[in-house]
Amino acid sequence: MYKVIIVEDEDIIRKGLVYSVPWAEMDCSVVGEAANGIEGLELIREHNPDIAVIDINMPIMDGFQMLESSYEQYNYAPIILSGYSDFEYAKRAIHYGVKGYLLKPLNMTDMKEAIRLAKRECEIRNAWISHQKTKEDWESTSVLKDFQKQPVEDRLARRMLEYIFENYQQKIVMQDLVDHLNYSEAFLNRKFKDAVGTTFNDYLNRYRIQKALEMIRQGDLPIQDIAWKSGIGDYKYFRVVFRKYLGCSPKEYMKEISS
């Protein structure tokens, strides 16, 4: 349900809004009511409402002062109530993206329409926030993060990592490490897994995919070139490895970060 607060200094109007408007039918719930802008600010900080129904003319702090003090931070959808058909008031209301500028005495049809527009604004805002989070998640994706929390202390494992960092774009097999470091394949595999937490081949694939992600984010190269530059080579195999670690194809990933 959408959380609503009502900020109105006239008791009879405020209570009428609380009890006469069919809030539940419109998927809304009144979570608080206030008689002036100061009390309204307290409600906003406490409840972080989706919609605020606000009277303009109130004692202590008026509706516009309350909006100025809270709108940018809490980003609710405001509905303005006023006893005056004043052009300057209406102009200021537009500045805050007001979804309804309603004149007293209130008309229920107008009130329902203002609530509908306010809900729509909330839906758009929430969809945008959700999209931004999703996009940020995709953009910050790392297939190495589980193996970067602690420094690798083992000297031999560090040398194997350095070999990956320097040669990942080339074909690498364990025999290359055997020849380079003069240890058996079984010994090297055991040392690497104990120190890093995964096998040499798994880390090599992850590192290559991480480099591919960086190139995809830069947006300068076609995906087939990225497959080769990452060291994996053939695009069909690259797609298989990519999906293994990301759960989606390279093209699907590109679509997510560009949407």
Sorted by where each begins, the domain ranges of the chain are 2-133, 145-258
209 Cβ neighbours under 8 A, 6+ residues apart: 143, 230, 232, 241, 242, 245, 246
| Percent of the chain whose predicted confidence (pLDDT) is above 90 | 55
Phi, psi of 169 (to 5 degrees): -80, -10
15 Cβ neighbours under 8 A, 6+ residues apart: none
Q: Distance between CA 242 and CA 240 in Å, rounded?
A: 5
Question: Is the predicted pLDDT of residue 227 greater than 60, yes or no?
Answer: yes
Q: Distance between CA 244 and CA 206 in Å, rounded?
A: 10
Q: Distance between CA 135 and CA 145 in Å, rounded?
A: 18
pLDDT tens-digit map of 22-68: 999 999 999 999 999 999 999 999 999 999 999 988 999 998 899 88
E-state strands within the chain: 2-7, 28-34, 51-55, 77-82, 100-103
pLDDT tens-digit map of 164-213: 999 999 999 999 999 999 999 999 999 999 998 899 999 999 999 999 99
Question: Is the predicted pLDDT of residue 154 greater than 70, yes or no?
Answer: yes
DSSP helix/strand/coil, 48: coil
∠ CA(201), CA(134), CA(251), 5° rounding?
Answer: 55
The reply to whether 145-258 shares the fold of 2-133 is no
Quote the pLDDT of residue 187. Answer: 95
CATH number of 2-133: 3.40.50.2300
Quote the pLDDT of residue 219. Answer: 84
Radius of gyration of the chain (CA): 30
CATH number of 145-258: 1.10.10.60
Quote the pLDDT of residue 128. Answer: 57
Quote the pLDDT of residue 48. Answer: 92
| 192, 203 Cβ separation under 8 angstroms | yes
